[in-house]
Structures are given as C-alpha cells and as structure tokens.
Amino acid sequence: MTKVSRYGIGPRRDKAPRKKDFFQGIENELSEGIELSSVRNSVDSILRLQSDNGAFIASPDFAEYHYSWLRDGSFCAYALDRADEHEASRRFHSWVNAAVGGISGIIDDVIGRHERGEKLDPSHMPPARFGLDGSTVTDEWPNFQIDGYGTWLWSLGQHLLITGQDGVPAEFLASVERVGRYLASFALSPCYDVWEESGSALHTSTLACVYGGLTTAARLLNDVQLLERALAVKERVRASAAQLGIYAKSNENADVDASALWLSTPFRVVEPTDRSYVRTVASIEEQLSLVGGIRRYPTDIYYGSGAWPVLTASLGWHYLTVGDLEGARRCHEWISERFDEEGRLGEQFGGELRDAPHFREWVDRWGPPARDLTWSHAMYVVLSIALESFDGSDEGGVIFPLIGDSDADARGLGA
C-alpha cells in the first residue's frame, strides 16, 4: 500500500505541479473577502494529498482515514475541475475506473442475487472505500454505502462536461454501465448513510447522490431505464417530504440532516425554491448552527458534534443558488478562519466545547479528530470559485444538462 506521511502521499511538496493555472493573472484576492493564498493552498493541498495513481487520501494525519472514499474523492475531483486541474481530476476518475474493474465480479454477483430475490449480506457488498492502491479493504467497516457510487458518476459527468467531452470515453464505458446497473438495482434499498451510520434506513442524502448518478449515467448512455429508476428515486424523496413538510434524515429518523442540502445543489433532485426544501434549509440553520458553522444532525455525538467545513460550504453553495451572496460570504469567512498555521483544514470544529464528554470518548478511541481533511479543502475550493464566478444567475458552478429524452425532460428528469 502507498506510504502515507502527515504531508500527504509520499514526499512533501510545498507547491504541487499545475499545468493550467486558474489563478494566473490574479494577484491577492479573487473577490471581496476571498484570499487568493487560502484558495491556492487548498488546491495545492488536494494535489499533494493525491497519489500518483489518482487516489485521494481522506486525511493524512488520522489513521482511520488512510483510505480513499468514492464520496470524498468525487467532490475533490470536482473541485479540481473547477480550478482547471483537469488532468488531476481525470487521474482520480481513472483510478475509480480501475477500482471498479477490480470488483466487477462482486458488483455483477450482487446485482444477480438481488434480481433473483436472494438475501444479501451487507458486508459482502461493493466497498465504500478502497486502499490507496485500489484494493478492497477487509475489516468491519460498514461498507454498504451506495452514495459514493452515485457521486462518482455525477462527478465524472461534470468532468466530461467541463472539459468539453461528448459521451463516455471508451475506457470508462464498462464501469459507467456497471455502476449505473448497480445503482438502479439498489437505489431504494436500505444501506448506511453518508456518515456511515444507520444501515437499516433509506437516507435522503443517499437518494440525492443516487439520483445524481443515475441521471448522469442515463444521459451518458442514453438509457431510458436508468431515467425511469431516477424518477422513482425522485418520487420517493418527494413523497417523504409531502408527509413531513421537510426532507428528513431518513425514513427512520424525522430529524434534519445537513447533508440534505445536496438535494438541490449539486444533485438537483429538487429546485432550491421547493417549499419543503426551503423549510429544510431553515431547520438546518436553526438546529445545526454552531458558532457560524454547520453540524451534521441534532443527535450527533461524533467528537462532540462540531461544525464541519464540508457542510458549511454546502450551505454557502446553496445560498449562492438563491442569490444570497452575503450568506455565502459568511459561510466562506467561517471556513477561512479555521485554517491552522500550516494551512491544514480539519474535519470539524467546536465539539470539545459543545459536548466535552463525547469529544473525549472519541479522542480516547481514535485520537484527536482529523486536522487535515481533503474533502474540507475541496468544498472550500468549490465555494470560493463559485463565489468568484457569481453573477446572480448561475447555478453555483454546477452544470445541469438536459438529459436528452423528451418524455423524461417533461417529467423533470432533465432538471
């Protein structure tokens, strides 16, 4: 397995190489309040934390995160595409392509078993994380998480759109088809959520990721059946909200979860003005704010439930889509103030003060929380560049293409 140091993959590089420079010609600030050095630092951090084969380590300083998650990495690749680091993004997608090829037999087997109505052991499902060399990891980690596979397809689709590529490159075709079938088969099956918890439920943010993946695969493959499955996912999400008035954490938990922000941006299951979504955002603001940042969910105890840059950036990203520039700037400022002197950006902040007993419990178990989280850097880059490009009419940088099937578009699948 690739050697991990506190500085990333292999030897430390103070400045990672860059073929095309998004920052060229910009001296000190991207726009009001956005320091160029912080954004450049985060782009360089993501590049430094990418192995030569394309994998992103989740965190170099936290032993439990010395792996590559499809979820985290897909957002990292998207951030790099937004920063014009297209070759680095492509290397991640090539790494996923190879990793999916390595487990093709597992994916095909569970799809077949599911179609035959056989009972499946969650521990035997395709993994949510991989070793940095693309190998599967055999341990007790809750692997059955389908959100990462949906997020990967979405991220790959964005990469192809941003770089002006039509259709699926031939070397990716088998993996896109295979992952599309996997998502279609298990889209409405209970699994662990994006926080790797609650394996018996259907989770709203997981469904958002699945929808993003299915609509992308449907567009890339011109596959009507995948469109139909995406529609079923959307209808399930909307039906739940019709009962509760908000988009709840899951079908087993009526609380709000900040990852529900992704329902609109970036996956556009619903419009940002959807009434239930507006109420959901208001609940997130009211229940999950912590000194300006955003926590995961009300009953969270992981390291005392601090505020996460990933989620604070997601809220800022949403604010931009509804024209709330000041709200987005507040989120951005909160994250900017969390970098340490070495330019690291941690997983979460404030849990030790909010809930000291649970914070200490997790420190005793795994040590201090991650001081440098690659996904945190990625979402900071995404929000920073979205702020810089904001003109009051864009979608926060996300490209929402029409699917291409007129009947599907008429029913909202192209949004």
Query: 330-360 in b/e burial notation, b at 16+ Cβ within 10 A?
Result: bbbebbbebbeeebbbbbbbbbbebbeebbe
Q: Is the pLDDT of residue 410 over 50?
A: no
Question: Would you place residue 5 in the very low, low, confident or very high pLDDT band (cuts 50, 70, 90)?
Answer: very low
Rounded distance, CA 393 to CA 396, Å?
A: 9
Tell me the pLDDT tens digit for each residue of 253-264. Answer: 999 999 999 999
Catalytic residue of the set 133, 196, 274, 409: 196
Band of pLDDT at residue 17, cut at 50, 70 and 90: very low
123: its two tokens:
């521990």
Closest CA to 57 of 11, 94, 7, 105: 7
196 has catalytic annotation: yes
**What is the overall mean pLDDT for the chain?**
90
Is the pLDDT score of 413 beyond 50? no
d(CA 166, CA 157): 10
If you average pLDDT over residues 154-168, what whole number do you get? 96
Tell me the per-residue pLDDT of 196-245, one tens digit each, with 9 for 90 and over. Answer: 999 999 999 999 999 999 999 999 999 999 999 999 999 999 999 998 99
Contact 341, 314 (CB under 8 A): no
Task: From the candidates 44, 85, 193, 355, give the one annotated as an active-site residue.
Answer: 193
Q: Which CATH architecture has domain 4-16+32-410?
A: Alpha/alpha barrel (1.50)
Per-residue pLDDT, 391: 78
Q: What percent of the chain lies above the pLDDT cut of 90? A: 81
d(CA 328, CA 325): 5
Question: Identity (one letter) of the amino acid at 126?
Answer: P
CA angle, 186 as apex, 56 and 67 as ends, to 5°? 20
* Domain ranges (residues) in the chain: 4-16+32-410
Residue 22's pLDDT band, with cuts at 50, 70 and 90, is low
What is the band of 24 on the pLDDT scale with cuts at 50, 70, 90? low
How many other C-beta atoms lie within 10 A of the C-beta of residue 199? 15
Please tell me whether residue 220 adopts helix, strand or coil conformation: helix
Q: Is 347 annotated as catalytic?
A: yes
Q: Based on the number of CB atoms within 10 Å of its own CB, is 295 exposed (0-12), middle (13-18) or buried (19 or more)? A: buried
Residues 6+ apart with CB under 8 A from 300: none
- 347, 355, 372, 405: the catalytic one is 347
The per-residue pLDDT for 34 is 64
Q: Counting Cβ atoms within 10 Å, is residue 53 exposed (0-12), middle (13-18) or buried (19+)?
A: middle
Asked if residue 266 has a cis previous peptide bond (ω within 30° of 0), the answer is yes
Q: Please identify which residue in the block is written with the tokens 């601090």.
A: 306
Average pLDDT over residues 319-324: 96
| Structure confidence at residue 395 (pLDDT) | 72
Whole-number Å distance between alpha carbons of 175 and 163? 20
If pLDDT is split at 50, 70 and 90, which confidence band does 43 have?
very high
For residue 58 the two structure tokens come to 């989740």
* AA letter at 379: M
